[in-house]
Structure 1
Amino acid sequence: MEWLTQSQTGFRQASRYLLTMRVAIVAMQLVTLAVTQAVAPSFYSTEALLLCLVYGVFTTLIWLWFRQRPPRHALTVTATLVFDLVLIGTWLLKTGGYTNPLTPALLLPIAFGILLVPLRHSIVLTGLTITAYAVEILWRSPVLPNETNSHLPDLYLLGMWVAFSLTAGILMLVVGSLARQIREQQAQLSETRESRLRDEQIIALGLSSATVAHRLGTPLNTMTLLVDEMRAEAPQLGDDLNMLEEQLQLCSGHLKQLSTAAMQVRTAQLETLTVQDWLARLRESATLLWPASRIGWEQPYPEARVAVDATLDQAVLNLVANALTASPEWVSIGAQVTGPDGVEIVVRDHGKGLDISEQGSPGDHVVKSERGLGVGLFLSNATIQRLGGALKAFTTDEGTTMIIELPQAGKVIRGE
């Protein structure tokens, strides 16, 4: 809705609305002259025609000026609206004054002035319009020397109808456009507020995660040293200590992965992989995390390429973890191309399904859940949206289907 702002960009965009107003007024003036000439052949006004010509030239010049070199200040726009009033008022003065059915056209510059210029300028325009109408009453030029012509009442009624219709059309165009842009702006503001709230929650979670990760480093190193000492003192516990060491290394690996993901987010690093290579990497991670779980990887994979990072890997693995929690006996993961520029990663399970509030657009906010579909789902959704994707879900009698929509490589629209 920039055309309502008092700036060069706003005035440039407003030029087409001003052009519409002026062209409509000139058209109404010419139609009125033509109809009057047809109804009253003795009527002819060279001055009125010249004023229409001047108004047309003025309209063209102002439109070109505002499009190429828009004014910096509202005073210039106000001056052009004042000139509109002068031209309209002078034309009315030469064509019957206040008896001319196009007198309401004087209100159009006021309407645009209220939208485009400061209040004090609008007050000046209103005062000038009232003065112009008073002049129409005091010094009007009659259409005909003898206004008892029987055709004049019909002409006046016809002119009033035409003026009303065109004025209503102009107002509908301007006010309708204004209302539509206001609704769009309100929707954008609502989305911005929701996005900001989500970002604040993510920042809070990120700070907490960073703090926990930093604090976990010391105890993990301590436990690793203790394992080495226990292996030397109790050789009979070798197998158990080896398993414990593997788990400690796994924890350390996750912390390093967290640090790597944070670095990639800061530097906005993305890597382009084929869907097959990316899912192979996810499969390897899933096998390490859940070696005993039954996860089906549906093949063949599409040949499309996607731009991914470590945070997206973690987002998908979070969804897989949720699916395994809900359905330990069966989870299926597949991929398919959607349209010329989209890829879908589909995660299915045989669980009881999501709550009604989470179906459709899951992860829009943090929810409390015993199944682990709260913070993890929220962060996964935020990560997918950051990379220009979307997360959808639906539940049937057979279970839940999570759909991750991603753009193909080269078409990534990073979230704000």
Structure 2
Amino acid sequence: MAFLTRTDPAISRLLMLRSGAIAIQLLAVIAVYFLLEHQIALYELLLVISLEALFQIFSVIAYRNVSKANEIGMLMQLTADVLFLTILLSLSGGATNAFVSLLLLPIMIAAVSVSAKGLAYIAILAIAAYSLLLVKVPQHSMHDMDMTSHFIGMWVNFVISASVIALVVGAMNRALRFREQTIASVREKQLRSEQIVTLDGAAVQITHQLASPIANLQLIFEELQEEQPDNALITEMQKPLAQCKAQLNHFRELSAQLRTHSNISSVRLLDLAQQIQDTILLHYPDQQLTWQNETPNVSVVSDAMLLPAILNLLQNATTANQQNNQNQLTLSWQFSNQGSEQDLSLLIRDYGKGFTKEQLNQLGGQLMPSNSGMGLAVMLSNATFERLQGSLTLFNHEQGGAVAKVKLALTNEGD
């Protein structure tokens, strides 16, 4: 079954196990009937195995290119296994069959493949199947052999075994999944930190390289100003040169603050909202910024990069609007309660074409080539929010456009 290599590993393993089980069932039935000469319902057993094989073929075709199967599909496959196995056992002795403990196998597979609710469903289904097989055992057989207590004891043992597997193996599997998710999250953050360190080094180098030419331009400007103090063009050079010098000094101070983490403070949300409003009005006058609710009178954890991180998202939203001939930006505040703590989020919605599936997988996690520049700014913004105890979530709005949800950490300060 090499063609199952592109299939979800959980479904792929189940299908391969079922293929082996079908082959073993067929060989066992033929050996018992022809070699051991036991009287069994041969044709009925072969019919059930044929139906199981047909179901297996349909399953392989349906899941041959499914990279991620949903839990409903996995539960349907396990339910079919329990039903087929129950029918085969009922035709070959029922609860008296020595292989009745095979009903534990679907529970084991469910313990490492589905959620706790799905595992409980498969465990209850298997226990019900065993109970049905026990009830269908002819009473005269149990009384003649005085095996009633024995079979009831086997049923109790099966229930205990199924419960232990569901509880212990299920708990171990959930712990392993949590550990894998934690390791993956730490690895992703480490890779992103390495990328940011690389970008920081490149930015410092560029800043250093720009300092000398700007200093030379400043000297030339001063000489020209002494020689031609009344020249209007030379006078106009003073403001942009001063801006370049101020920006370089700001970059140096900001870089030092970020490395020492000495600039973590708080900002009133009313002030932050006003800064966002003023910046959008200054840089994107064609965009209409709409607040859907009032700004709460609280403070959030902040540093010098919080506002630029939010503006990066607004710039991307503006670009998405322009590409879709839209000019509306919608912002709103969202409060959510988690126990005794409150979470505050800023939702930024544009009216562009939204994110593709590939963009949602890559944005904020790694650098992504894009003609619009989207990817690098979002990654840096995400790193800023995480450093300030927040987070960034990107998703498509159900009515069109994209939404950037910025979770901010509240402080105890406020008016």
TM-score range, shorter chain: 0.5 to 0.7
For residues 40-119 of structure 1, the aligned pairs below 5 Å read none
1:310–1:251: structure 2 CA closer, same or farther, 3 Å change rule?
A: same
Match of 1:173 in 2: 167
Residue 339 (structure 1) aligns with:
336
Note if contact 2:349-2:403 (Cα within 8 Å) is conserved in structure 1.
yes
One-letter amino acid of the counterpart of residue 192, structure 2: R
How far off is 1:382 after superposition?
Answer: 1.9
Residue in 2 aligned with 1:385? 386
Contact 1:304 1:337 in 2 (8 A): no
Which whole-Å CA distance do the structure 2 matches of 1:315 and 1:394 have between them?
20
Counterpart position of 1:182: 176
Distance 1:307 1:220 in 2: 35
Identical aligned residues as a percent: 26
Measured in 2, the distance between the counterparts of 1:284 and 1:192 equals 37
Q: After superposition, give the CA deviation of every residue in 1:264-298 in whole Å (9 maximum; x if it has no partner).
A: 3333332112111123344555667x386656364
Is 2:222 the partner of 1:228? yes
SS of the counterpart of 1:336?
strand
RMSD, aligned α-carbons: 3.5
For 1:330-359, what per-residue CA distance to the aligned partner results, in whole angstroms no more than 9, with x for missing partners?
464644132242333344445555444224
How many Å separate the matches in 1 of 2:284 and 2:226?
30
**Inter-partner Cα distance in structure 2 for 1:318 and 1:370:** 16
> 2:364 is paired with a residue of what secondary structure?
coil
Does residue 1:267 correspond to 2:267, yes or no? no
How far apart are the structure 2 equivalents of 1:253 and 1:370? 30
1:113-152 map, 5 Å: none
Tell me the alpha carbon deviations over residues 150-174 of structure 1, each in whole angstroms, 9 at most, x when there is no partner: 9974433333332343233223322
Q: What per-residue deviation string (whole Å, max 9, x for no partner) do you get for residues 174-204 of structure 1?
A: 2221112112212222222222221211111
C-alpha distance after superposition, 1:121-157 (max 9, x if no partner): xxxxxxxxxxxxxxxxxxxxxxxxxxxxx99744333
The 1:220/1:194 distance shift into structure 2, 3 A limit, reads: same
**CA contact 1:361–1:391 (8 Å) conserved in 2:** no
* Higher Cα Rg, which structure: 1
Deviations 1:381-416 (A, max 9, x none): 2212332222324368875443322232259xxxxx
Q: Secondary structure at the match of 2:305?
A: helix
1:372 CA displacement: 1.7
- Call closer, same or farther: CA 1:219–1:178 in 2, change over 3 Å: same
Q: 2:410 is aligned with what amino acid?
A: Q
Q: For residue 310 of structure 1, give the secondary structure of its aligned residue in structure 2.
A: coil
Secondary structure of 2:358's aligned partner = helix
Cα offsets for 1:200-224 (capped at 9, x unmatched):
1111111111211222222222222
Pair 1:178–1:360, CA change in 2 (3 A) = closer
Task: Give yes or no for contact 1:353–1:400 (8 Å, CA) kept in 2.
Answer: yes
Give the counterpart letter for 1:261 in structure 2. L
Query: What letter matches 2:405 in structure 1?
Result: I
TM-score (norm 1): 0.53
Query: Does 2:309 correspond to 1:315?
Result: yes
2:312, 2:302 → 1: CA distance? 15
CA shift in 2, pair 1:403/1:228, >3 Å = farther
Give 1:201's match in structure 2, choosing from 182, 189, 195: 195
Distance 1:250 1:292 in 2: 22
User: Aligned partner of 2:157: which letter?
Assistant: A
Partner of 1:249: 242
1:191 aligns with 2:188: no
In the alignment, residue 149 of structure 2 is paired with which amino acid? L
Report if the CA contact (8 A) 1:362-1:391 is conserved. Answer: no
Letter in 2 for 1:369: S
Q: Secondary structure at the match of 1:159?
A: helix
* Larger displacement relative to structure 2 (241-250 or 352-361): 352-361
2:404 counterpart of 1:402: yes
- Which secondary structure does the structure 2 equivalent of 1:368 belong to? coil
How many Å separate the matches in 2 of 1:201 and 1:321?
22
Residues 295 and 333 in structure 2, CA contact (< 8 A), matched pair in contact too? yes
Task: Tell whether the 8 Å contact from 1:367 to 1:375 is kept in structure 2 after alignment.
Answer: yes
> Would the aligned equivalents of 1:344 and 1:404 in 2 still touch at CA under 8 Å?
yes
Aligned length: 262
Q: State the match for 2:363 in structure 1.
A: 362
What are structure 1's unaligned runs of at least 5 residues? Answer: 1-149, 412-416
8 A contact 1:335–1:343 mirrored in 2? no
Letter in 1 for 2:163: G
Residues 201/346 of structure 1: CA separation in 2 closer, same or farther (3 Å cut): same
